[in-house]
Structure 1
Amino acid sequence: MGGTGDQPGPARFAAVPVLGIAAVLAGVLTALSGRYGFHRDELYFLAAGDHPDWGYVDQPPLTPLVARAATAAFGNGPAGLRVPATLCCAVTVVVVAALAREFGGGRRAQVIAAVTTSTSGYVLGIGHMLSTSTLDLLVWLLVCWLVLRLLRTGDGRWWLAVGAASGIGVQNKYLVVLLIAVVVAALLAVGPRRVLRGGWPVAGAAVALVLALPQLWWQARHGWPQLTVADGIRADDGAENRAMFVPQQILFLSPMFVPVWVAGWLRLWRDPALRWARPTALAYPLLCALVLVAGGRGYYVIPLLIVLMAAGCEPVAAWTRAGRRAVRGWTAGAAVAVTAAVSAVIGLPVLPTGALAVAQAVNPEQGEQVGWPTLVSAVRDGWSLIPADRRDHAVIFAQNYGEAGAIGHYGPGQGLPPVYSGHMSYADWGPPRDSADGPVLLVHQDGDRRIARHFTGCREVARVDNHHDLDNEEQHAAVELCSGTRSAWSALWPSLRHYY
């Protein structure tokens, strides 16, 4: 099949240096993977993995299943859970180098792409811990690489691979649908439109639908709860997300890399040799508009920003080769070194936990990895106050999935029973039996009384202290001992369900 134009083949892939950079990154992530502790989302993934299903109210099933497989294969601690995140991050570096190659980048540009990717704060942060964003970034970049292969060669059979990657991506996070939407819109706007004709795009869409169908069926069967979750995020954080939309992109990827992705966008839009790739340039502002309207977070568009950065690596390579090479080389090296140091502080567990306030100002997720065992110890202290003859009727109820996940993970080792919560998919895993009529040990965030109003005779018996004076979401969380519930659990349960 013919291409979209007489495009020269890409340069040889710089396998040895690129794979070497990916291996070094994987080594660093592995060495640091056991520091601090689980993130609240990771604890939730572990719990969801113990309740395998085709979907959950706030996410598709892939990440929880990966979490379950990882802990079964590599151990039940943070280091074992994070092996897939490390591997995804290393592969991401390789894919970005391949993107730079598709954009006509030679060996030096590919190495620059690998280095800039492996030192960006966003990549390091999501590579350190397992999250839906970890897999999502890799899926987006892989889809973009496949689309570029399609555009450069004009071979419609690449639509099958695009569809397969997108369908798998939907089983992890729904945002990949936005990527496909803006790519198709960009193709319609600036071409080459011929790649949208014929049966291959339809076949690719069919492949994506078949792979995504189990999750879509689950969501439809349960009344599309993901939309409720999205509405809650927009209502709670939409204004802040819009205000921080641009700053988040700059800070998360790195201010030092702004000239690189700006050069990449200008190159894709202006360079006649890359006219076939121009839809990539248009897709970025289209995606920004969609996310802004929806009140989404700034990091949703970072995958396309990384694609633009890959396109900008060849101009950077040419700049380092032009006059005063030594000075320009040292300048580029110094910028990368500064970026790597700052990104490590923001995204990796390199600081003492007592100094995390600095990193939290940019990346609050750092602090959410600290203090879970002490929370469970406070719960254990509260549980010990319940008379032994009442414990068969007693219930531990947590306000959110982080608290519930921590108690579920660490609690059995401290003699605690199963925990219940109405947050997200914990609500689907069932209420306690109605005969469990109290006492109730209630765990909730400091100052948040929304849940407590459903219980009677409550008195505070413990407070959570992470012992690092770290102001994360669970610092000073309250543990209250309540005499019971205001009605039977089965009647009360719908009122206890909440999504945010």
Structure 2
Amino acid sequence: MTIAPSDTSVQDEDDNGRPVGLPAFAARPIAIVAAVLAALLTALSGRYGFHRDELYFMVAGDRPDWGYVDQPPLTPLLARASTALFGDTPMGLRVVATLLGVLSVVVVALVARELGGGRRAQLIAACCAAGSGIFLGLAHMVATATFDMLVWLLISWLVLRLLRTGDGRWYLAIGAAIGVGMENKQLVALLVLALMFSLLVAGPRQVLRTWWLAAGAAVALALALPNLWWGAAHGWPQLTVAAGISDREGGENRLMFALLLIVQLSPLFVPIWVAGLVRLWRDPAIRWARSFAVSVPLLVVVVLVFGGKAYYVLPMLIVAMAAGAEPVARWAKAGRRGWILTSAIVVAALVNAVVALPVLPPKALTVVTALNAAPSEQLGWPGFVSSVAETWRRIPAEQRAGAVIFAQNYGEAGAIARYGPDHGLPPAYSGHMNYSAWGPPPDSANGPVVLVYARENRRLPRMFTDCRPGARIDNGYGVESELQQNVILLCSGASGPWSRLWPILRHY
């Protein structure tokens, strides 16, 4: 596909702030795409169950703080707000994820428009984004990356407006987006650094020579300060967590990086985002946006080198895809090849929906688990807690006051917090992530221990005495998952006081 220079004139705004020369916003088509996406996500939001991360976020949201060892406070607070407003169910929790996904689709269309894309290009960009695997997966469930997707896209759109208009006042909005984003995931700082470096390399550098930049930075700092203050007071544990993840998973992340960049959007969308990168670099009509052609590959290289996950940079590939929507629209129209483009988007969306959403019967999930393990992690939680309760009931009633439930992973501990009260279970303790900061059991809790741990962990059971098998864990569908690999033991007690064991039991 040959990319011709754009024939769309993109000019500054007039004195009243109205865009001059920008194409009209395709409000009705984008609203239809957003509505279809919202309807699909809502219809499927309660089909399986909570994801292990969601169970953890719900517990964290019930213990609000300015930070947690593995994340800033925003996602847990959003989880708490969503369940408080819409119900303590998977469907109620995921209302916030659906709203974030819908807003992200609108911002993608705005990015395409900012780069001179007409109504057709805006619709193509919105459909490609809504039909991409990563978009569907993140909009289906509550995750830190769900809000991160919206923030990265929003910052990119605001920066494009700054570059197009040269109006430094946009720095205030950019700073606000960055500050709020930092309260969700500090990875947004990497985006900021990449954009600043790219502006220095590719220009236009004059947008950096204004006091509005300092004003925007002050806004960002003010909004991010609570979590930064918390992090400094607690020894920056989020950096420790990030380093641990890189050490454990960095090699696999690097090995799978290129493949996941392609698969998590769709192989059929590769020509569109490649066309976008070429257009950002070569099209004289949007030369002011050339820095994005530098920042996207720069972020890819940095994340790859440091062993980060491929989905960290996918929002920027979606920006490139939005840039490519205009030349792709012209290509499809010039040769009457619209049916090819439409077919590609429909096929990609259908395949991605099967992989990313709870479309298949649970027993058929083995087909997609290799590509996306998230659906399998939404199965079997009520049954798991029933197994824990069955084991708990083996403890003599007179000993239960001093008994403890200890789970290796925050997901299992979160499931017990959610479903345990229905079985008369006490909250579980765990040394995983911020559960470790919520403290050990009191040393006076020296009774039996119901231990839940991953079968491969041979070290953990040695910290408990006289352990024997508890009830069996089975999600009931024969689908492999982290939960399915767990074991329940009933032990007579811990091998020492909890306060002494806790530093050993803590892990990120």
TM-score by length of 1: 0.97
CA contact (8 A) 1:101 1:110 kept: yes
Q: 71, 77, 83: which one pairs with 2:89?
A: 77
1:451 alignment counterpart: 460
CA contact (8 A) 1:97 1:110 kept: yes
Q: 50, 64, 78: which one pairs with 1:52?
A: 64
Q: 40, 52, 56: which one pairs with 2:52?
A: 40
Question: How far apart, in 2, do the equivalents of 1:292 and 1:263 lie?
Answer: 22
Cα distance, 1:292 vs structure 2? 1.4
The residue type paired with residue 494 of structure 2 is T
Q: 293, 296, 300: which one pairs with 1:281?
A: 293
The residue type paired with residue 102 of structure 2 is A
Q: 241, 246, 257: which one pairs with 1:245?
A: 257
1:139 alignment counterpart: 151
Where 1:462 maps in the other structure, the secondary structure is coil
Show CA shifts across 1:241-274 (max 9, x none): 1111111010000000000000000011001111
Percent identical pairs in the alignment equals: 62
1:375 alignment counterpart: 384
The residue type paired with residue 213 of structure 1 is L
Q: How many residues align?
A: 493
The residue type paired with residue 425 of structure 2 is L
The residue type paired with residue 217 of structure 1 is W
1:116 alignment counterpart: 128
- Does residue 492 (structure 1) correspond to residue 501 (structure 2)? The answer is yes
Cα distance, 1:3 vs structure 2? 5.8
TM-score by length of 2: 0.95
Where 2:374 maps in the other structure, the secondary structure is helix
CA contact (8 A) 2:12 2:20 kept: no
Where 1:87 maps in the other structure, the secondary structure is helix
1:418 alignment counterpart: 427
Question: How far apart, in 1, do the equivalents of 2:258 and 2:215 lie?
Answer: 37
Question: How far apart, in 2, do the equivalents of 1:293 and 1:206 lie?
Answer: 31
Q: 97, 107, 110: which one pairs with 2:109?
A: 97
CA contact (8 A) 1:446 1:474 kept: no
Following superposition of structure 1 onto structure 2, how do residues 174-253 of structure 1 map, counting pairs within 5 Å?
174-253=186-265
Question: How far apart, in 2, do the equivalents of 1:214 and 1:385 lie?
Answer: 46
The residue type paired with residue 218 of structure 1 is W
1:258 alignment counterpart: 270
Cα distance, 1:447 vs structure 2? 2.4
Where 2:116 maps in the other structure, the secondary structure is coil
CA contact (8 A) 1:168 1:208 kept: yes
- Greater shift after overlay, 386-395 or 487-496? 487-496
Question: How far apart, in 2, do the equivalents of 1:292 and 1:115 lie?
Answer: 28
- Does residue 330 (structure 1) correspond to residue 339 (structure 2)? The answer is yes
Cα distance, 1:116 vs structure 2? 0.7
Q: CA RMSD in A?
A: 1.2
CA contact (8 A) 1:390 1:439 kept: yes
Show CA shifts across 1:136-172 (max 9, x none): 0000000000000000000011111111000000000
Question: How far apart, in 1, do the equivalents of 2:21 and 2:223 lie?
Answer: 32
Structure 2 stretches lacking a partner, 5+ long: 1-10, 14-18
Q: 17, 28, 40: which one pairs with 1:28?
A: 40
Cα distance, 1:491 vs structure 2? 2.0
Where 2:359 maps in the other structure, the secondary structure is coil
Show CA shifts across 1:95-139 (max 9, x none): 000000011000100111111111111100000001111000000
Question: How far apart, in 2, do the equivalents of 1:492 and 1:280 lie?
Answer: 50
Question: How far apart, in 2, do the equivalents of 1:453 and 1:95 lie?
Answer: 52
Question: How far apart, in 2, do the equivalents of 1:279 and 1:204 lie?
Answer: 19
Q: 142, 147, 172: which one pairs with 1:130?
A: 142
Question: How far apart, in 1, do the equivalents of 2:476 and 2:394 lie?
Answer: 23
Where 1:442 maps in the other structure, the secondary structure is strand
- Does residue 269 (structure 1) correspond to residue 278 (structure 2)? The answer is no
Show CA shifts across 1:38-67 (max 9, x none): 000000000101110000000100000000
Which 4+ residue blocks in structure 1 deviate beyond 3 angstroms? none
Question: How far apart, in 1, do the equivalents of 2:73 and 2:485 lie?
Answer: 32
1:462 alignment counterpart: 471
Cα distance, 1:74 vs structure 2? 0.2
Following superposition of structure 1 onto structure 2, how do residues 294-305 of structure 1 map, counting pairs within 5 Å?
294-305=306-317
